[in-house]
């Protein structure tokens, strides 16, 4: 899984896998729960295709991956095969001779574990109905590491592995600046090295297809919608992300346009109306607001406003709507997968899903659209007492052993969800140690089950065949 996710210069030097059930996360209360591991709670995701007459109904137990979604939707769209795809077309879900839908919507429900469809089925009537009516892949899993937002959205959007699309972490260490930076620094999609399905469709239709990308963070939106006009012959597409600077929406105007429907949306109005709290929690800031069902409603209403205003479904050129819904992720990061808070957020998400389906029928006509529902990753449950670990403590431990005076061997491990550490290898070697020494030391800690060096991950990558 790390071998599929390795990209030189962006990946770290040490790759860690926690023992199943151990949670490695920040001290910040909004992130008491943290995904990123290969275990089922982080990797088992829903893949659901919905929309008669284009999709064949049925539960399918064959294993599928996030990389299969773009090729499959591309086949329904008639977009052809993109040479970088490592995923395959899920033929068994496509009805033959059904023609082309007017709209295809991809809904990536952030951190939506597959088992939520059982656990919370009672508050999700619409998603449950979609599952019954559509093609449901019960054994869908992420097959790359880390299992995190930026990586997975790019994998879904491009239909290929991170080793080809280049988005390997949410936050990486830049050796030339000496600082860490987000995967899409300054909202710039240039580090996305492969074409997304939306890119290909934008180029194929020369911008005549309406393409909308929207999400709770740019690291989600960009991987789905792609490069827009920041690609030779690409046209600007409509894209925006929620901004934690001002609780409004933002875009990168070089590549995308923002729908004017978003101008009136600001989260602060929502939390002020609620008196600044939700279920007893303070939500009165752009960041805290996200861990609530009110935020889930806010981001869905923003999407509905854009979809209502923009001319989707009006002609025979299939339009694409690529969506990230952040609600389940932020709520579960703070309160966990078993919480009453998450249940509320999922109930809200389901209500909004019904409105989205209704709007699609109104815009494109009944039976004229396809909706794909999936997730980027899952979320671990509450660990036993004493089994929550913090990267700062782990870094301190490394420095006590390998660099006790200067504490400089570890460049960056603040973002534990990356599941990798950026190491000053030259300094480590100068002190008489190798990356394998460091890996062996970490493997002796009770919370890691396996630790790999960059060389070991590269060797594993060389053993992968070019496809799959
Ligand atoms: Zn996510």
Q: What is the DSSP string of 285-308?
A: STTGGGSSHHHHHHHHHHHHHHHH
**193 within a domain of the structure (yes/no):** yes
Give 178 Cα–ligand 1 centroid separation in angstroms.
26
Whether residue 328 contacts residue 109, with contact meaning beta carbons closer than 8 Å, is answered with: yes
- Say if residue 29 is in the same domain as residue 130: no
**407 within a domain of the structure (yes/no):** yes
pLDDT at residue 262 in the model: 97
Give 399 Cα–ligand 1 centroid separation in angstroms.
31
pLDDT at residue 466 in the model: 56
Q: What is the DSSP string of 160-198?
A: S-HHHH----SEEEETTTTEEEESSGGG-GGG--S--HH
- Residues, the chain: 468
Give 21 Cα–ligand 1 centroid separation in angstroms.
19
Give 329 Cα–ligand 1 centroid separation in angstroms.
6
Q: What is the pLDDT of residues 239-284, one digit of tens each?
A: 999 999 999 999 999 999 999 999 999 999 999 999 999 999 999 9
Q: Which of 314, 339, 374 is the last residue of a domain?
A: 374
Q: Which of 314, 343, 374 is the last residue of a domain?
A: 374
Q: What is the DSSP-derived secondary structure letter of residue 91?
A: G
Q: Which of 374, 403, 427 is the last residue of a domain?
A: 374
- Say if residue 321 is in the same domain as residue 343: yes
pLDDT at residue 217 in the model: 87
Give 434 Cα–ligand 1 centroid separation in angstroms.
33
- Say if residue 285 is in the same domain as residue 350: yes
Query: What's the sign of the alpha-carbon dihedral 287, 288, 292, 295?
Result: negative
Give 386 Cα–ligand 1 centroid separation in angstroms.
25
Q: Quote the domain boundaries for residue 130.
A: 42-374
- Say if residue 318 is in the same domain as residue 335: yes
Whether residue 257 contacts residue 236, with contact meaning beta carbons closer than 8 Å, is answered with: yes
**383 within a domain of the structure (yes/no):** no
**2 within a domain of the structure (yes/no):** no
Whether residue 73 contacts residue 339, with contact meaning beta carbons closer than 8 Å, is answered with: no
CA distance 181 to 258: 24
Q: What is the pLDDT of residues 59-75, one digit of tens each?
A: 999 999 999 999 999 99
Give 12 Cα–ligand 1 centroid separation in angstroms.
20
**93 within a domain of the structure (yes/no):** yes
Give 432 Cα–ligand 1 centroid separation in angstroms.
39
Classify residue 190 as exposed, middle or buried by CB count within 10 Å of its CB (0-12, 13-18, 19+): middle
CA dihedral 172, 378, 145, 23 (to 10 degrees): 70
Whether residue 182 contacts residue 170, with contact meaning beta carbons closer than 8 Å, is answered with: yes
- Say if residue 227 is in the same domain as residue 204: yes
- Say if residue 167 is in the same domain as residue 193: yes
- Say if residue 211 is in the same domain as residue 140: yes
Give 147 Cα–ligand 1 centroid separation in angstroms.
8
Give 179 Cα–ligand 1 centroid separation in angstroms.
23
Give 149 Cα–ligand 1 centroid separation in angstroms.
4
Give 43 Cα–ligand 1 centroid separation in angstroms.
11
Each of the 468 residues of the chain gets a pLDDT tens digit; together they read: 999 999 999 999 999 999 999 999 999 999 999 999 999 999 999 999 999 999 999 999 999 999 999 999 999 999 988 999 999 999 999 999 999 999 999 999 999 999 999 999 999 999 999 999 999 999 999 999 999 999 999 999 999 999 999 999 999 999 999 999 999 988 899 999 999 999 999 999 999 999 999 999 888 999 999 999 999 999 999 999 999 999 999 999 999 999 999 999 999 999 999 999 999 999 999 999 999 999 999 999 999 999 999 999 999 999 999 999 999 999 999 999 999 999 999 999 999 999 999 999 999 999 999 999 999 999 999 999 999 999 999 999 999 999 999 999 999 999 999 999 999 999 999 999 999 999 999 999 999 999 999 999 999 999 997 544
CATH number of the domain that 65 lies in?
3.40.720.10
Give 326 Cα–ligand 1 centroid separation in angstroms.
7
Give 412 Cα–ligand 1 centroid separation in angstroms.
21
pLDDT at residue 187 in the model: 85
Give 252 Cα–ligand 1 centroid separation in angstroms.
21
Give 330 Cα–ligand 1 centroid separation in angstroms.
8
Give 25 Cα–ligand 1 centroid separation in angstroms.
15
**251 within a domain of the structure (yes/no):** yes
The total domain count for the chain is 2
Cα radius of gyration (the chain): 22
- Say if residue 397 is in the same domain as residue 362: no
Give 314 Cα–ligand 1 centroid separation in angstroms.
32
- Say if residue 292 is in the same domain as residue 186: yes
The three-state secondary structure class of 339 is coil
pTM, two decimal places: 0.97
- Say if residue 340 is in the same domain as residue 455: no
**382 within a domain of the structure (yes/no):** no
- Say if residue 96 is in the same domain as residue 189: yes
Give 408 Cα–ligand 1 centroid separation in angstroms.
30
Q: 149-158 and 218-225 helices cross at what angle (nearest 10)?
A: 10
Give 424 Cα–ligand 1 centroid separation in angstroms.
29
- Say if residue 27 is in the same domain as residue 47: no
**456 within a domain of the structure (yes/no):** yes
């Amino acid at each position: 899984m790390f071998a599929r996710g390795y990209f030189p210069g962006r990946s770290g030097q040490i790759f860690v896998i926690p023992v199943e059930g151990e949670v490695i996360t920040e001290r910040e209360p909004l992130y008491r729960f943290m995904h990123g591991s290969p275990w089922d709670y982080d990797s088992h995701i829903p893949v659901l295709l919905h929309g008669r007459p284009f999709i064949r109904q049925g539960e399918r137990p064959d294993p599928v991956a996030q990389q299969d979604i773009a090729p499959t939707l591309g086949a329904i769209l008639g977009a052809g095969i993109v040479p970088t795809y490592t995923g395959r077309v899920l033929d068994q879900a496509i009805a033959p001779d059904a023609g082309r839908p007017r709209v295809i919507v991809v809904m990536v429900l952030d951190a939506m574990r597959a088992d939520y469809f059982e656990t919370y089925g009672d508050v999700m009537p619409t998603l449950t109905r979609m599952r019954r009516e559509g093609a449901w892949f019960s054994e869908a899993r992420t097959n790359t590491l880390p299992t995190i937002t930026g990586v997975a959205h790019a994998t879904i959007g491009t239909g290929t592995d991170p080793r080809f699309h280049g988005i390997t972490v949410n936050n990486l260490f830049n050796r030339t600046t000496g600082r860490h930076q987000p995967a899409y620094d300054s909202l710039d999609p240039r580090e996305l090295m492969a074409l997304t399905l939306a890119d290909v469709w934008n180029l194929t239709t020369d911008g005549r297809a309406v393409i909308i990308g929207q999400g709770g963070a740019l690291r989600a939106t960009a991987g789905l919608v792609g490069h827009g006009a920041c690609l030779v012959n690409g046209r600007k597409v409509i894209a925006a992300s929620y901004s934690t600077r001002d609780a409004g929406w933002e875009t990168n105007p070089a590549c995308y346009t923002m729908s004017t429907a978003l101008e009136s949306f600001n989260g602060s109005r929502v939390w002020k109306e609620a008196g600044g709290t939700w279920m007893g929690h303070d939500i009165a800031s752009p960041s805290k607001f996200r861990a609530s069902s009110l935020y889930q409603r806010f981001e869905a209403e923003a999407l509905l406003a854009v979809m209502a205003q923009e001319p989707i479904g009006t002609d025979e050129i299939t339009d694409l709507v690529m969506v990230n819904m952040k609600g389940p992720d932020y709520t579960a990061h703070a309160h966990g997968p078993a919480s009453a808070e998450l249940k509320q957020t999922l109930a809200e998400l389901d209500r909004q899903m019904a409105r989205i389906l209704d709007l699609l029928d109104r815009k494109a006509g009944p039976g004229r659209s396809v909706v794909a529902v999936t997730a980027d990753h899952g979320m671990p449950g509450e660990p036993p007492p004493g089994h929550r670990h913090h990267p700062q403590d782990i870094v301190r431990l490394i420095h006590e052993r390998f660099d006790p005076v200067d504490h400089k061997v570890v460049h960056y491990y603040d973002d534990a969800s990356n599941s990798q550490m950026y190491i000053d290898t030259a300094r480590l070697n100068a002190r008489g140690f190798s990356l394998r020494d460091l890996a062996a030391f970490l493997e002796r800690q009770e919370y890691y089950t396996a630790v790999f060096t960059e060389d070991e991950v590269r060797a594993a990558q060389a053993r992968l065949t070019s496809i799959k």
